[in-house]
């Protein structure tokens, strides 16, 4: 459940190749309708694939982090002042690329599950019709499902100096670059880290989907094959395409799971070969031993776990290993 702290709506308009800003003078009242709209936008944003995650850039010329810091540290919490300054920067960045027709720019500061967030979304009006007194009339309403530009700052994670606290919709091509630059997001891709995050999420999905062990192994093996081919071809990861390949009968279930903003999964990176292997292999190491085996070995009881004494039993030990142990006097005939 979202606890809304402050709301503001300003307008960004495009006239030919120039952008003008119409600023609100007061915050938007927090009504039941406003809460429903923000909740809908938040849920839709979470469900969208093709998001990029990162942190504020350290490059000169980006004012967003400083503007947010002034708001957070101020006792007055001037939300209209913050969002008005952000709108000026948004108009400048939009003018550099002429990438949008503009629209209503929603700013929402809300609290959810103990964390504070700032959500920014550009929403346009949509024409529809309504029956009134037996007559049909044109009406305009907010096209909540049609937004293409949105970003979210996890203010709590930012204050804690976490690695990733900022996200935005990437869209196709470079159309969303201006929104990235407006937010001041540095989303540099780290292939191994991003692959490890995806591997962890795919394993979590098998648990959330309540897959049986053999079903989970087959799913993860299929994912390993898909990502392995992408690695060899140097093709970037696309969650929607991967979901269609791995779950052709219900791809939205997987894509929605991966798309959730809190998972902070980037797209557009080439999978790391060594990290992909961890989808179907389990490894551990202590000062006394190292072990590496596949999920299939567990499924086929070639590797067995005894919970009573936290021990593993390995079957089918190769003769070469037995010979080494015999030569060093560890075992006898």
Domain boundaries, the chain: 3-186, 191-278, 280-327
Confidence (pLDDT) at 117: 96
pLDDT digits (tens, 9 = 90+) for 221-247: 999 999 999 999 989 888 989 999 999
Beta strands in the chain (DSSP E): 3-15, 18-22, 51-56, 102-112, 115-123, 125-132, 135-142, 149-154, 166-169, 185-186, 281-285, 290-294, 303-306, 311-314
3-state SS of the chain: helix, strand, coil percent to 5?
40, 25, 30
Confidence (pLDDT) at 228: 94
CB contact burial 238-274 (16+ within 10 A = b; e otherwise):
bbbbbbebbbeeebeebbebbbebebbbbbebbbbee
Lookup: tokens for 32? 């039941």
Low-confidence ranges of the chain (pLDDT < 50): none
d(CA 210, CA 274): 27
Query: What's the sign of the alpha-carbon dihedral 82, 83, 88, 94?
Result: positive
pTM: 0.71
pLDDT digits (tens, 9 = 90+) for 284-331: 888 888 888 888 888 888 888 888 888 888 888 888 888 888 888 888
Lookup: tokens for 6? 């402050």
Confidence (pLDDT) at 127: 63
d(CA 57, CA 47): 25
């Amino acid at each position: 459940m979202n606890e809304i702290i402050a709301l503001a709506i300003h307008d960004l308009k495009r006239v030919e190749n120039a952008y003008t800003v119409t600023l609100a003078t007061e915050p938007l009242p927090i009504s039941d309708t406003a809460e429903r709209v923000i909740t809908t936008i938040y849920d839709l944003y979470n469900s969208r694939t093709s998001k990029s995650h990162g942190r504020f850039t350290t490059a000169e010329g980006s004012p967003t982090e400083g503007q947010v810091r002034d708001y957070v540290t101020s006792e007055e919490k001037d939300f209209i002042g913050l969002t008005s300054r952000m709108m000026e920067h948004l108009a400048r960045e939009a003018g550099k690329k002429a990438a949008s027709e503009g629209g209503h720019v929603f700013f929402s500061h809300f609290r959810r599950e103990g964390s504070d967030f700032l959500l920014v979304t550009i929403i346009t009006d949509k024409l529809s019709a309504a029956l009134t007194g037996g007559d049909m009339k044109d009406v305009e309403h907010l096209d909540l499902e049609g937004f293409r530009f949105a970003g979210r700052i996890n203010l709590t994670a930012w204050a804690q100096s976490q690695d990733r606290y900022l996200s935005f919709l990437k869209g196709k091509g470079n159309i969303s670059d201006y929104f990235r630059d407006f937010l001041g997001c540095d989303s540099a891709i780290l292939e191994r880290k991003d692959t490890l995050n995806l591997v962890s999420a795919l394993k979590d999905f098998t648990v959330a989907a309540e897959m049986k062990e053999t079903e989970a192994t087959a799913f993860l093996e299929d994912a390993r094959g898909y990502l392995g081919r992408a690695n060899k071809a140097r093709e970037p990861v696309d969650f929607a395409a991967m979901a269609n390949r791995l779950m052709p009968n219900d791809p939205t279930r997987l894509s929605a799971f991966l798309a959730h903003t809190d998972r902070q999964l980037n797209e557009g990176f080439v999978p790391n070969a060594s990290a992909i292997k961890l989808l179907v292999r389990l490894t551990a190491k202590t000062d006394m031993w190292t072990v590496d085996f596949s999920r299939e070995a567990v499924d086929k009881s070639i590797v067995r776990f005894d919970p009573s004494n936290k021990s593993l039993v390995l079957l089918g030990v190769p003769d070469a290993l037995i010979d080494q142990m015999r030569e060093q006097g560890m075992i006898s005939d």
